[in-house]
Amino acid sequence: MIEVKKLSHQFAIGKKGKETIVPVLHDISLTVQKGEIVTIVGRSGSGKSTLLNLISGYLKPTSGEIFIDSEKVSDLNESEWANFRMNHLGFIFQSFQLIPSMTAFENVELALTLKGEKEAERKRKTEQILLKVGIQDFMDHYPSELSGGQQQRVSIARALILNPPIILADEPTGSLDSETENELLDFIQQLNRDLDITFLIITHDEKVARIGDRVIELADGAMNEGALHHEV
């Protein structure tokens, strides 16, 4: 479902003509199969978030190829990427990234509005997904009126609303307390089992890493698959 081939990336820092080249990822190759939960771990600066941004099209790789659902996405332009993300990918972020001036319902409904769905269908689908994530009693609340765990459930509902086959998660439990983290990890595993959603999760937390069918370690921009199975 996700295939990365010999992916490398570097950033240029400084004025044009006098840039300093900073390599971040080196010759990364990995495959994520449909229905897998794969966790990527590593220290800060190891290249985890850069890899996720490359796979989701927010960065263009310096070299290498990325395929998602058999489509070579590393060649897509910005407009093509935006359309591809809407139809194939959902996102969960550490900071939730909910729009503070919108209710939980409106935050989740927004993607359907942007897609052009009719109001009655938007309402039905949004209520259905909020019920699925257990937040239906708070749909009229604003993000500031919700706990961290409730906000993350709203963000999961938003990720699910367009039925993506893949969800990319960047430190999804980083802003949660221990009890809420456990609940969220159980819920991710339930979604994986019940809906066959593929998850690629970036984390520095060993508890999160344990839910992965496979664990990939990034260190200094290089990949070491399976090494953490003995540690987590």
Note the pLDDT tens digit of each residue in 58-69. 999 999 999 999
* DSSP symbol at 98: -
- Provide, rounded to the nearest whole percent, the portion of the chain with pLDDT above 70: 97
Secondary structure element (H or E) that encloses residue 11, with its range: strand 2-13
Alpha-carbon distance of 196 to 175, in angstroms, equals 26
Name the band, by pLDDT with cuts 50, 70 and 90, for residue 54: very high
Tally Cβ neighbours within 10 Å of residue 177: 11
pTM value? 0.87
Could you state, in order of their start, the residue ranges of all structural domains in the chain?
Answer: 2-230
104: alpha, beta or left? (left if phi > 0; alpha if psi -120 to 50)? alpha
Nearest CA among 150, 73, 62, 75 for reference residue 105: 150
pLDDT of residue 142: 97
CB neighbour list of residue 57: distance below 8 Å, 6 or more residues apart:
73, 76, 81, 84, 85
pLDDT in tens, 161-172: 999 999 999 998
pLDDT in tens, 65-104: 999 999 999 999 999 999 999 999 999 988 889 999 999 9
- 2-230: which CATH number, 1.10.1740.10, 1.20.58.100, 3.30.70.330, 3.40.50.300? 3.40.50.300
pLDDT in tens, 135-166: 999 999 999 999 988 999 999 999 999 999 99
* Rg value, the chain, Cα: 18
Q: Is 230's pLDDT higher than 70? A: no
